[in-house]
Amino acid sequence: MKTTKLLNIRNSSLHPGTNLIVPIGFALFCILHQCQSQGTTTFTFEGQAPGTISGGMAYYVESAMQFNVLPEGGLFLVGPGVPGYPQDGTGYLEAPDVFVGGGGLEFSLNPVASFNLISFDLAGIVNGARPTVEVVGYELQIMAPTLMVTNYITVTSDNFQTFYLSSGFQNVYEVEILNAPFSLDNMVISGVPEPSCGALVVLATLCGLGRAWMRGKRTE
């Protein structure tokens, strides 16, 4: 009996919200886990009128993903049906040979977030180039050096081919595709956080704190 009484006294001296730490933490973990794995997103580079090519762009943005040209020059949106250009029935993004020995593009989400790069379609461009592109992924490490993963892909046709990246392209925050010229289409990623995730986490935390406060008021 004395032991039971002692435990009751100690428990009553804790902050009213202490016994909520575990369930709140578990709920937040579940929310974050669900937010990080909501299917796939495909970037199709549409918008250019059929039979036309855009002017040179320093960058291009689609669904919060920003594509930047490396290191100078321009990216081009190519509409479907441009004579002499690769054809897949839709628009696509072209990275011309703007810098010998390393031109290309880089892309990342804005705001910055990690994602999984699954696949993309590549083709040569109008001059018949068959580049071996270098795909470099960067994984952000907290309190540690940035990790890199590299795949080499040889483009063998003016027609689009689908290439799948290695498992090392999980949780990357930036990717470079080097050694232009090439044409890019139908890029698929997964693991993008839902826009409402932050709000859900804040809401869950506030609900937990509010419940603890109410319990504290009732025990006064």
Domains of the chain listed by start with CATH number: 2-36+196-219 (no CATH), 40-190 (2.60.120.260)
Sign of CA dihedral 65, 69, 70, 71: negative
> What pTM was estimated for this model as a whole?
0.70
Residue 152 pLDDT more than 60?
yes
Count of Cβ atoms closer than 10 Å to residue 35 Cβ = 18
pLDDT digits (tens, 9 = 90+) for 72-94: 778 999 999 999 899 999 999 99
| Distance from C-alpha of 168 to C-alpha of 10, rounded to nearest angstrom | 50
Which stretch of DSSP H or E encloses residue 86? none
User: How high is the pLDDT of residue 32?
Assistant: 42
Our CA angle for 5, 11, 12, nearest 5°, is: 90
User: How high is the pLDDT of residue 177?
Assistant: 95
Of the two residues 213 and 169, the one the predictor is more confident about is 169
Of the two residues 51 and 6, the one the predictor is more confident about is 51
CA 43 to chain centre: 11
The 104-109 sheet, strands edge to edge: 59-62, 65-70, 104-109, 174-178, 132-139, 147-154
Residue type, 141: Q
Residue 9 pLDDT more than 70?
no
